Structures are given as structure tokens and as C-alpha cells.
């Protein structure tokens, strides 16, 4: 999700996007030292100046929570 309309109503402020993990500016780090979550893939994702094309929108603009 990304904030796409700061002035909109709370449910109409964000848009959901599909972002490829190999896109420039995307960084993934696996979580180390997991105890009870060994069977799941857990980590953190950071986005630094990632440019997302309009065709990557999942659903409709400003309806990320719909």
C-alpha cells in the first residue's frame, strides 16, 4: 500500500500495488534467529525511491482498502 491521496477520507487514501522484488530500490532481508516461526519465510522489505508503473495497481486508485 502507498498513500496516494493525503486529503482523502481514511478508507480512500491508499492504493495497493504489486511491486517486483527485483525492482530498483527494493531490499529484502531475511529475519534471523526465529524460534517458533521456522516453517515460515519471514523478513523485512524496504522501499527506497521505488518507481511503480500505473499498470502495477492492484484494484482501483485510492481504493486500497476496498
Q: Which residues pair with 46 in a beta bridge?
A: 27
Q: What pLDDT is recorded for position 10?
A: 82
In a 3-state reduction of DSSP, which class is residue 29?
strand
Which tens digits make up the pLDDT trace of 6-64?
Answer: 998 888 899 999 999 999 999 988 877 666 656 667 788 999 999 988 899 999 999 98
Q: If you classify domain 2-58 with CATH, what class do you get?
A: mainly beta
Instruction: Output DSSP code: residue 51.
Output: -
21 torsion bin: left (phi>0), alpha (psi -120 to 50), beta (else): alpha
Q: What pLDDT is recorded for position 44?
A: 87
Phi then psi dihedrals of residue 30, to 5 deg: -65, 140
Q: Which residues pair with 47 in a beta bridge?
A: 26
pLDDT at 66 over 90: no
pLDDT at 65 over 90: no
Task: Name the nearest CA neighbour of 4 among 44, 38, 54.
Answer: 54
Domain ranges for the chain, please list them: 2-58
Q: What pLDDT is recorded for position 37?
A: 56
Amino acid at each position: 500500500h502507498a498513500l496516494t491521496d493525503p486529503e482523502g477520507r481514511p478508507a480512500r487514501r491508499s492504493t495497493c500495488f504489486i511491486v517486483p522484488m527485483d525492482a530498483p530500490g527494493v531490499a529484502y532481508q531475511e529475519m534471523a534467529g526465529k524460534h517458533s516461526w521456522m516453517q515460515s519465510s519471514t523478513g523485512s522489505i524496504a522501499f527506497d525511491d521505488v518507481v511503480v508503473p500505473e499498470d502495477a495497481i492492484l484494484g482501483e486508485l485510492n481504493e486500497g482498502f476496498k
